[in-house]
Amino acid sequence: MTTIICRNLATGINGHTITSDINLDVTPGTMTALTGPSGCGKTTLLHAIGLLQTPAAGTLTIDGIDATGWNQRQRRRFWRDKAAFILQDYGIMDEETVGFNVSMRLNALGLAVGGDRRRIRNALRLTGLASRADETASHLSGGEKQRLGIARAIYKNASVILADEPTASLDAGNRANIIRLLRERAAQGAAVILATHDPVLVDACDHVYQVAPSS
């Protein structure tokens, strides 16, 4: 399992500071909500925590190792071995099958879905997508694509799950389903970090961090 610690972390875009003095501990088995008004930098901070963006200042440690200045190879290893992302654009390959989007692998001949088929089926079963494995992902609704992102996290047994507004624009039933799945991942030991303005999702989290834009 994975612990991420931010100390005096600052984020920025094109030389403009977005957030600063972020001190945050993200621990295994918990859900942490990054909250605040639109434009406060929630998504930017989430990207920095997930090493999708290099911090402007401060330190970010992963399991006690300073990851602030990791190169692309080190970041890719983190993404491959530990992290799963559920982003607003879903990160789904619409032209590929649902099954492929879980494992993101083809078989040795490049002709069929690769990876562990049993684990793929289990991840889709847990997220209510078992009957959709062979469909093209573009056929899924928004809520189903969110669940597909979680299926990918289940498949790779991600120890860190980073989600950007995972319940945005969902009806009450789909929202409850997403929250349940995320809570189950945390119960399995994952560190779940969410950027959200959804009060229901915030209430389901163990920790809440109010993000304030840099003055």
Structure confidence at residue 109 (pLDDT)? 44
Instruction: Read off the tokens for 197.
Output: 């303005």
Q: Is residue 55 part of a domain?
A: yes
The single residue listed with the structure tokens 């950027």 is: 195
In a domain, 128, yes or no: no
112 pLDDT more than 60: no
Q: What percent of the chain has pLDDT over 70?
A: 93
- Confidence grade of residue 106 (pLDDT, cut at 50, 70, 90): low
> For the domain that residue 56 is a member of, what is the CATH number?
3.40.50.300
User: Which pTM does this prediction carry?
Assistant: 0.88
Type of residue at 197: H
Q: What is the mean pLDDT of residues 49-57?
A: 93
Q: Is residue 133 part of a domain?
A: no
pLDDT of residue 174: 83
> Is 112 among the domain residues?
no
19, 38, 86, 214 from 197: Cα distances, Å: 17, 8, 16, 19
Mean pLDDT of 73-84: 93
Please return the burial class of 78, using the count of CB atoms within 10 Å of its CB with bins 0-12, 13-18 and 19+. middle
**39 is a domain residue:** yes
The domain tally of the chain equals 1
Domain that holds residue 173: 4-94+159-210
At 136 the pLDDT is 93
* Domain assignment of residue 145, yes or no: no
21 or 115, which is more confident: 21
Residue 129 in any domain: the answer is no
